Amino acid sequence: MPQGPAPADSLEGATGRGARYSLAVPSRCSAFAPKIFGLGLGLVLLASLGCSTNPATGKPQLAMIGEQQEIAMGREADVSVAQQYGIYDDPELQAYIQDLGMQLARVSERPDLPWKFAVVDDSIVNAFALPGGFVYVSRGILAHVASEAELMGVLGHEVGHVTARHSVEQMSRAQLAGLGLGVASVASRDVRQWGGLAGAGLQVAFLKFGRDDERQSDSLGLRYVVRAGYDPTEMPKIFHTLDRVSQAAGSGRIPTWQSTHPDPGARSQTIARAVSQLAPDEQRGTLNREIYLAHLEGMTFGANPREGFTVGSTFYHPDLAFRLDFPSGWQIVNQRSQVGALSPEKDAIVVLSLVQGSADQAAAEFRNVGGIVMGSSMGRNMQRFETVSDNPNDQVLTGVVRFVEHRDVTLRLLAYTLDSRWRNAEQPLVDSVDSFGSLSDPRYLDVQPKRLELVELPRPMSLSDFAEAYPSSVDRTTLAIINGVSAEDVLEKGQVMKRIVGGDLPDR
């Protein structure tokens, strides 16, 4: 958790970062979704006028959101993406991805959108697009891709979602149906929202597209890849890789693209069939394997422990030099602007968040949130609070809040549970909030992330030869997947292989 609010991942999806829920919602994001869906009523009346012809698909489309509005929505969500995921700090890599993306955008049916292609600082295998031409790939997916041509397939697919205006169509449908995608709860200014909801500002990035939309994006992506002169036969490979990643992860870290892009086998076959029907000269094209890989040299791999890691139930944050003990046995979720832990019964929560302003300012802001009544001070800047609500169905929440100025940031420690559970939960919650402290032990302060390195093989060898000659700090399965090879393959002399180095953490 370094600088910026909380994520919930997506490769257009909903899950991710190992977490199935999000611990807090930054208030500056939550205004976004209601704004989109708040367009609602007036526009419903215009529904019959909301059909237009889509330039990419040539088909009539339900679109109650105009292009300028679409771009404005994308721009706003783009800010949330940067805050919640972070943009990976490598200007050269960013420029490279922007250049690749623009090659596709230029040959698309909507070349004049304010296209932006960026790498988000996320280890999950992920890519997603916002309306208006904002496309993101995670460093996690980059590490799993083997060539420019393969990456172009991923980018082309996302460009397809934008040109076909899939999210616009979907939001228009949601307006019509009056569903609002759960916005009623998002709009609630209740303290509960800190405990349960994903960043509302990114709802638009988490829309799940239907199977038809996915197929359409595949075929549009293929079109752009071919027009840009890239080898389209590389495009199906990402599906195979995604399959392997999720198999290796078990039920744990399923790549988000997988969760929102069902049936990868059938889709990769469909794409392969479409490729085989292209004119022969279109079935060839630029591959650029070595050029692509060279851009990955030194890239962070996996979760970055500088942004926080856990040993036992203690959380360490090297960049911000603090530590915090969570109640033991709780599920800890580390996100960009906060880290939190949830009780096994999911009825109590401790959340530490970065907040704006001084401790006094942040405390005043907290007191002024509607629905909160402050209670007695408990010393050390810690104070009791409980929630009040006009709605008799809302249960009262009781907790403690503490504000700490640490180095040059202000942190809010918040721990709460249902009022009826407070008696049992009070001690562990208060102890946890109380345990916040500075971190000075260099064993924790100096940890570094894993990095991707390239090796040009001096001779033919097997994967296990490679792993022995050039040790990696990931397991053999991961090594095979990121290199797109299997244990039986003979690796050729001169082949460029990825290895992962460093990143050891203290074990206690």
CA-closest candidate to residue 481, choices 270, 260, 302: 302
Question: Which of residues 208 and 306 has its CB atom nearest to Zn ion in the complex?
Answer: 208
Q: Between 210 and 312, name the residue whose CB sits nearer to Zn ion.
A: 210
Nearest distance from C-beta of residue 135 to Zn ion, angstroms: 11
Q: Give whichever of 153 and 318 is closer to Zn ion, judged by the CB atom.
A: 153
Q: Name the residue nearer to Zn ion (CB basis): 217 or 288.
A: 217
Which CB atom, from 256 or from 343, has the smaller least distance to Zn ion? 256
CB of 244 to Zn ion, least distance (A): 19
| Smallest gap from residue 128 Cβ to Zn ion (A) | 8
Min dist CB 262 to Zn ion, Å, is 11
The residue among 152 and 324 lying less far from Zn ion, judged by its C-beta, is 152
Are residues 26 and 5 in contact, defined by beta-carbon separation less than 8 angstroms?
yes
Q: What are phi and psi of 24, to 5 degrees?
A: -160, 160
* CB of 191 or CB of 207, closer to Zn ion: 207
From residue 304, give the alpha-carbon distance in Å to each of 298, 300, 351, 497. Answer: 13, 7, 20, 22
Q: Which is nearer to Zn ion, 19 or 154 (CB)?
A: 154
Find all residues with CB under 8 Å of 254, minimum gap 6, and list them.
15, 245, 246
> Residue 339 and residue 477: Cα distance in Å, rounded?
29
Q: How far apart are the first and last CA of the chain?
A: 20
For residues 355 and 405, what is the distance between their CA atoms, to the nearest angstrom?
10
Q: How far is the CB of 13 from Zn ion (least distance, A)?
A: 9
Instruction: Please choose, out of 6-14, 277-285, 470-478, 487-495, the segment that lies near Zn ion by the rule CB under 5 A.
Output: 6-14
Type of residue numbered 331: Q
- Smallest distance from Zn ion to CB 12, Å: 5
Candidate segments 9-17, 234-242, 248-256, 436-444, binder of Zn ion by CB under 5 A? 9-17
- Nearest distance in Å: CB 435, Zn ion: 43
CB of 446 to Zn ion, least distance (A): 40
User: Toward Zn ion, which CB reaches closer, 73 or 164?
Assistant: 164
154 or 452, CB closer to Zn ion?
A: 154
* Positions 214 through 233 that interact with Zn ion (CB under 5 A): 214, 217
Residue 292's nearest CA partner among 99, 433, 469, 117 is 99
Which span sits near Zn ion by CB under 5 A: 7-15, 78-86, 248-256, 423-431?
7-15
Q: How would you classify the pairing of strands 397-406 and 437-438? A: unpaired
Residues in Cβ contact with 463 at an 8 Å cutoff, skipping those fewer than 6 apart: 476, 479, 480, 483, 485, 486, 487, 489, 491
Shortest approach of Zn ion to residue 217 CB, angstroms? 5
* Stretch of residues binding Zn ion (CB under 5 A), selected from 105-113, 207-215, 243-251, 287-295: 207-215
Contacts 24+ apart (CB under 8 A), 354-361: 354/1, 354/3, 354/4, 354/409, 354/410, 354/411, 354/412, 355/403, 355/410, 355/411, 355/412, 356/410, 357/410, 358/405, 358/410, 359/403, 359/404, 359/405, 359/410, 360/403, 361/410
- The distance of closest approach from Cβ of residue 360 to Zn ion in the complex, given in angstroms and rounded to an integer, is 46
Kindly tell me which of 70 and 214 has the beta carbon lying closer to Zn ion.
214
- List of residues 6+ apart from 291 with CB closer than 8 A: 148
Q: What is the 3-state secondary structure (H, E, C) of 291-312?
A: HHHHCCCCCEECCCHHHCEEEC
In the complex, minimum distance from the CB of residue 7 to Zn ion, in angstroms, rounded to a whole number: 19
Cβ within 8 Å of residue 335, ≥6 positions away: 1, 6, 7, 17, 19, 22, 23, 24, 84
Distance CA 21, CA 17 (A): 10
Which H/E stretch holds residue 415? Answer: strand 409-418
Separation CA 151–CA 153 (nearest Å): 5
- Nearest-approach distance from CB 19 to Zn ion, in angstroms: 21
Query: Please, which residue, 160 or 318, has the CB nearer to Zn ion?
Result: 160
Total interface residues for Zn ion by CB under 5 A: 3
Phi, psi of 234, rounded to the nearest 5 degrees: -80, -20
Binding residues for Zn ion (CB under 5 A): 12, 214, 217
